[in-house]
A and B are shown apart, each in its own frame.
Chain A
Amino acid sequence: KNEVEQSPQNLTAQEGEFITINCSYSVGISALHWLQQHPGGGIVSLFMLSSGKKKHGRLIATINIQEKHSSLHITASHPRDSAVYICAVDRGAQKLVFGQGTRLTINP
């Protein structure tokens, strides 16, 4: 069993829909990261969370440390949000363990 599990693996939605991507982990962590990988392959950091909730524009990330679970939400989704979203947990020593990613496609 992977230490970091994401669901769903693939998600297709219509423009404007509210999107939720989930991440569960089975180990102790110091922080959790959400990343976005563009269709061209580039990877950018979206959030780092150690508790609670963070918001940046239309993206919201939450984490529940007790339940070992995090969610990434996208409000008013747009085709440009189409990408692979990756959850990664920081197990200390600044090393990340990554989930397999969720491929999101937003249709116009």
Chain B
Amino acid sequence: NAGVTQTPKFRVLKTGQSMTLLCAQDMNHEYMYWYRQDPGMGLRLIHYSVGEGTTAKGEVPDGYNVSRLKKQNFLLGLESAAPSQTSVYFCASREWDEQFFGPGTRLTVL
């Protein structure tokens, strides 16, 4: 089992560029989440999904879009990157009593 994987691990963007972060899990979990982690702040929920074909907004959804076309994949898109989106992004999937986190993607927007 690979668990939860994220692609890419690092990325540098210029303001206005777009990109997609890929999260994949092989545990057949229904629930998947995208978080961002910023210095001095706790993890914050961007978007989440309760199953294939469903998505919902979290605490800080502005500037991001998501898709869950396949159960095992949850994609996070930045249509027009801004410096305020510089952060470490974590994907997670959830079984009843445990969240499984990916290794994170460090994104810098110049």
Which residues of A pack against B, CB within 8 Å? 2, 4, 31, 33, 35, 41-45, 48, 86, 88, 94-101
Can you list 11 A-B contacts with CB-CB less than 8 angstroms, sorted by A residue number? A43-B92, A44-B101, A45-B98, A86-B43, A94-B31, A94-B50, A95-B45, A96-B45, A97-B42, A100-B40, A101-B42
Min C-beta distance of A45 to chain B, whole Å: 5
Which residues of B pack against A, CB within 8 Å? 31, 33, 40-45, 48, 50, 58-59, 88, 90, 92, 94, 97-101, 103-104
Q: Which 9 A-B pairs have the closest CB atoms?
A: A98-B42, A48-B97, A43-B101, A98-B43, A45-B98, A100-B42, A94-B31, A41-B104, A45-B99
Min C-beta distance of A84 to chain B, whole Å: 10
Q: Which residue of B lies closest to A46 (CB)?
A: B98
Known interface pairs A94-B31, A94-B50, A94-B94. Does A42 touch B101 (Cβ–Cβ under 8 Å)? yes
Which one of A43, A94, A99, A100 has the greatest number of beta carbons of chain B within 10 Å? Answer: A43
Q: Which residues of B contact A97 (CB under 8 A)?
A: 42, 45, 59
